[in-house]
Structure 1
Amino acid sequence: LFFLIKINLWLTIVAVIPMSLAIFAWLKVSPMMYKYYYKWRDAMAKVNNYLHSSFSGIKLIKSYTMEKKNHDQFKKILQKRIEAAVKVIKVETIIDTLFSSIQEVGIIFILLFGGIFIIKGNLTIGEFIAFNAYIILLLGPMIRIGHFFVSKKRAQVQSERLEQIKDSPADVVDTGKARDIVPEEMTLNKVSFKYSKESPLILEKINIKIPVGKRIGLAGTVGSGKTTLTKLLMRIVDPTQGRVNIDKFDIRKIPLSQLRSLLSYVPQEPSLFSDTIRNNIIFGRDCTPDRLNEAVKLAQLEDFIKNQAKGLDETIGERGLKLSGGEKQRIAIARAILDRPRILILDDATSNLDAETEKELINQLSKSLNTTIVIISHRLSVLSICDYIYVLDQGEIVEQGTHNSLLKKKELYWKLYQHQIIEEELK
């Protein structure tokens, strides 16, 4: 710019005016770009969420012959994403055209006024050629800066969503201090829980004792709060009222890393990765071959692994596509017991095994690991191996006792048990 002014101040002003117009135009269209980029981002998120939900629930969709309806719904969501993308492309095209037009107008003005200055003797031909050479050197970075700002806006909108996720408040706050704990008992004392101030209570005044080395069963109707209880034990969420203790310590005062090293959780639908059996069990932890073999044996995976061409190094496909439901659950159990947890939580984690195999596996885990096991099972016959059972209904404990004592009461547990017997006979 200095050299342009040195050659001819007035011609420089003529050249700078279109550049100023380009900056002014950018400031005006920038809010519109944000608007369309936000719509494009949200439309893309809806497509991804719908695809994830569809693939996760593909069995359910097929069982209700909802393939066509699901496909039609996806087409509508995808169309909105395409429309949003087209609008973004239009805006970017308009901006590119605007910048190009302003640059072309600027060049025309330079040629026009440069010619006038040459005719009047205010500018030599050599100076004019040098001036144009400097303008070309200046225009290149200006064009790149324009493209950079367009890309920056797009990236900024996408990164804002990541920032929102990163800055969202944690469900639990890790403020505890490391403690010397050898768990003798885990208790829930008058625990109530709800997800927000406005929502109803999921659990209400729950009192449970989980003594060391015992098998504790949780039974109840669908939606009674059993899985929410496991979230409280793992401190994935904190109680709205009451306390969850390990021995005399409130678990909120224990570091999350220490707490979760004491417990392991196995859900009904385990998360597996597109990797080998070995890596799905080890899950990035340090592990000796003996410890790995012990976990494989206790999870009753030995025969399955022997039948694999590569043994533990056999890949399991996308999210365990090559495996049956029972094989997935056994791998998840092997992963959970690898570090010999003091408390093992099985949330319908053996539901894809037959009842006798399920009992045998849980008994074997209890005896070999000498660990406390909390069992949630839709098969009440499996809970017969528990030392004590808590029965939940609508977020409250309505019964407690051993399997046999609960059957003698002939209340909710007995009704659920009888219902399952009838279902099995009908099969």
Structure 2
Amino acid sequence: MDEALLRILTPAVIGVLVRRGADFAAAEDAVQEALLEAVRAWPHEPPRDPKGWLVTVAWRKFLDATRADTARRLREVRVDAEPPPGPGEAVDDTLQLYFLCAHPSLSPSSAVALTLRAVGGLTTRQIAQAYLVPEATMAQRISRAKRTVADVRFTRPGDVATVLRVLYLVFNEGYSGDVDLAEEAIRLTRELAAHIDHEEVAGLLALMLLHHARRAARTGPGGRLIPLAEQDRSRWDTRLIAEGVEVLQAALARDRLGEFQAQAAIAALHADARTAGETDWVQIVEWYDELVRLTASPVARLNRAVAVGEADGARAGLAALAELDPALPRYAAVAAYLHERDDDPAGAARLYAEAARAAHSIPERDHLTRQAARLNATITDAAAHAAE
């Protein structure tokens, strides 16, 4: 049984049913039942046209459910117009499904779950494992999301930016359970890029590839977090870096800059440096200026302060940081780093400890705690030597 093929076909088959008149929730349920039939039947009698087989079986499942539900009989569904078995339809509805799953009426978490289920073809159990929640909880979340978009019909193009943000949320979840969400996000973004010619889709794909290329070097034994400057760059995936740079260059050549292209350009500059000391921080600051202009994002301005500190010195970085709200996530960690570079170990240690208390993940908390402990040990040693 080719599970990868089933996952690829799932959104296209759902799209066919929706176009024929099924609401989204009913279409998704029917396709899931058809997939179960495929798991049982295909190992013994594989179809010549897998998509056509799934469309036929899913449509029959939908019609059976419709006929059995008195309320649904009132809907204008062509229950007597069942198409005969045959080749799958040439129209590709996958793109519409991306927009449907990223509908503005959904919360980000619901949009992500629905995208993984309907577009990614993952099971509820796999999605629940990836998010470390009970399967029943995830099933309720997906069910609510399906009801929300059940009657949505597209009369104008969907919002590409919303779709891209949902895919970026998937990518940033990383890995847990038996599904690698970072790789799944890359697969889905590749598929989206095959369906829509848009420079920001290419920009997001490039950004994912460039970040994912550093994955193997990002953690050490026991999940210990390794900062970018300390990573073993020989472990970076040069194939992914080359692909990411190529995709990015093609997007930038269209001269319609967007936030994901700007972020990818920053990631490409980091990837281009053979050592941390060779990083072109001046050009990175320029790209952060573009990103801030495009988004006015406080997070972008926070990261820009770090880049300014590297390019123009810690005092300049602290001056840029002083313009931001101290309540920003990671503000204390950035302040600690810049204070340490400004030869203020006591202030840096205090700020590292503060950042550790506010950390959102165990690896990040442990890393910041170690930084504070390292500086406190250095201060203690220096005081002991001074007293001798």
TM-score when normalising by structure 1:
0.24
| TM-score (normalised: structure 2) | 0.26
Structure with bigger strand share is 1
